[in-house]
A and B are shown apart, each in its own frame.
Chain A
Amino acid sequence: MITFDDVVKVYPGGSTAVDHLSLELPTGKTTVFVGPSGCGKTTSLRMINRMINPTSGRILIDGQDVAGQDDALLRRKIGYVIQHAGLFPHRTVLDNVATVPMLLGKSRKEARTAALGLLERVGLSAEFASRYPAQLSGGQQQRVGVARALAADPPVMLMDEPFSAVDPVVREGLHREFLRLQKDLGKTIAMVTHDIDEAIKLGDVVVILRQGGKLAQIGTPQELLDHPADEFVAEFVGRDRGLRSLSFDTAAGLPVRPLTADLLLDEAGRPVSWGDGEPTGGTFTVEDSLRLVTDLAITSPVGIAVRVDANGKADGLVPHHDLVDHLAERRAAK
């Protein structure tokens, strides 16, 4: 657990970057700092590995004040990923990844072997190992940056806008892999982004900061979407927060109606189309989100979403007035 205990940072010029911040980043979870430009996100992150020292207040990692620790030794236990990756241009991909293990005293051979395994983990084949950073695309560089940060298996990772320098399609892929990796590794991650969608997608906990480095709200993505603390947060999470909040609930609790003869099935029981030839426009399972069901009900030409089981066999219908009733109950229950 990383604890911010009444942390203040005032830069020499007199600007307050972080203002009496107290919060906890749970162990093994991803905490995302988000907020408008200049609200102190990077400053907050860098105080964790002492790249910046707080003006007052304390930061503790598992109860230990970082202020008492040797900078370099502390940082070797904390992975760090930045926008544009900051790779060493003079080292091959493999040696970039081997950096921290070698600082920790591993032999070159050992460090390189481990590095090779890590490249694979982040989805880069061995052919990239001997390339220099200049020979990689932005997305590939970012993967190497992540592999490098993971190399010494640090319990804590700091990531400052790690995915913002790549195009949306690549970013989407990196997000998926990030979630997959984090599910395996369970690191305590502090991430910074200015993109609320990214925060909601990747964060277990989201910290919203406002101008002047003040905490606006901290909570799970769903808490922020369902119960924004004030106008600023409501505005920041977006006007479509109601719809987005549906991403966090599955269709498991959603009642369905029995199939009707209007829905044509193939011999395996899979939906083909509606009787009048209209397409079903997609299906959902109990594991899909309410957001997907809503989308299906809205876009279906007949206003009905079709549920299927794990084998793709149709097993229920949700007309869109049923969905509206369910959403109203859901809101009332919160």
Chain B
Amino acid sequence: MSTYLSNNWETILTALRQHVWLALVPVVIGFVLALPIGYLGVRFPWLYHPLVNTCGVLYSIPSLALFVFLPVLLGTKILSPLNIVVALTIYTVALLARTVADGLRSVDALVVQSATAMGYRRLRRLIDVELPVALPVILAGLRVATVSNISLVSVGALIGVGGLGQLFTRGFQLFYTQPIIVGIVLSVALAGICDLAIVGLQRLVTPWTRYQRGAA
């Protein structure tokens, strides 16, 4: 194993860097897109169900199908990492738009009412009150999206792009287990670290969730 690592560390690092990039850029773009889309599902209640259904359908498209189909749609090269980024952004939006909508809907109506009664206008109320109160739900969705993206990137290796997934395909091609093990360990570790990072962020930005009613 150590010979494999010392001979291939450059390849492994490149794969890891690519993996991080391919997984997390879509999380960021998807999150930014999901906020307004999710909000629309709350602002206009008739939009909520179409939104949830659309998200459900999008999320259920098999990733490989999407990776293969996107180049046709976007006119990109089949080996372009852009396909992966776009595909994962679609999944992230599908997951987070619904989470944002559900998070905002979970905010106690009394809290929203009292904010309105105190003289908040709609936008400031959203930013100062509704989003912060919905944050625990939204961040839970963000964890799912991040971890799921990290595992989906590997699928991209089947079409030739895919960060750590390339270590799997190489291992299979050569009947050689070491790259496979390294690939698995690194992608699990990456998912774990990202998950922990978000949990840490959550503790930092929502200190109030630590106090449950009656358990203070």
Contacts and interface: CB of A to CB of B under 8 A. Distances in A.
- To the question of whether A and B form a pair in one complex, the answer is yes
B111 A86 contact: yes
B208 A89 contact: yes
Interface string A70-90: 011111101010101111111
Interface string B163-184: 0000000000000000000000
A57 B106 CA distance: 36
B117 A80 contact: yes
A72 B118 CA distance: 8
Given A82-B114, A90-B133, A73 B119 contact: yes
A236 interface: no
Interface residues on A, range: 20 to 34
Contact of A76 (B113, B119, B206, B213): B119
A75 B211 contact: no
A51 B118 contact: no
Interface of A is mostly: mixed
B111 A51 contact: no
Given A132-B211, A134-B216, A82 B119 contact: no
A74 B120 CA distance: 11
A51 B116 CA distance: 8
A82 B110 contact: yes
A196 interface: no
A193 interface: no
Contacts, number: 69
Interface of B is mostly: helix
A80 B118 contact: yes
B119 A100 contact: yes
Nearest to B205: A90
Interface in A80-118: 80, 82, 84-91, 99-100, 103
B6 interface: no
A103 B208 contact: no
Nearest to A49: B117
Nearest to A83: B110
Given A86-B110, A88-B133, A134 B213 contact: yes
B160 interface: no
Contact of B120 (A84, A91, A103): A103
A55 interface: no
A88 B129 contact: yes
A103 B118 CA distance: 9
Contacts of A99: 118
A88 B115 contact: yes
Nearest to B131: A90
Contacts of B110: 82, 84, 86
B132 interface: yes
A224 B216 CA distance: 45
A75 B118 contact: yes
Contacts of B117: 49, 51, 75, 78, 80, 82, 158
B78 to A, nearest CB: 47
A125 interface: no
A72 B120 contact: yes
A135 B213 CA distance: 6
Contacts of B113: 51, 82, 86
A91 B135 CA distance: 13
A82 B116 CA distance: 12
Interface string B76-112: 0000000000000000000000000000000010110
A230 B182 CA distance: 87
A84 B111 CA distance: 10
Nearest to B136: A90
A89 B121 contact: no
A89 B133 contact: yes
Contacts of A87: 111, 114
B212 interface: yes
A87 B119 CA distance: 14
A61 to B, nearest CB: 15
A135 B108 CA distance: 17
A103 B111 contact: no
B202 to A, nearest CB: 13
10 contacts: A49-B117, A74-B119, A75-B116, A88-B129, A89-B133, A89-B208, A90-B133, A132-B207, A132-B208, A134-B216
Interface of B: 108, 110-111, 113-121, 124, 129, 132-133, 135, 206-208, 211-213, 216
Closest 8 CB pairs between A and B? A86-B114, A76-B119, A135-B216, A80-B117, A75-B119, A86-B110, A132-B208, A134-B211
Given A82-B113, A86-B108, A134-B212, 12 more contacts: A72-B120, A73-B119, A75-B117, A76-B119, A84-B110, A85-B114, A86-B110, A88-B115, A89-B108, A100-B119, A134-B216, A135-B216
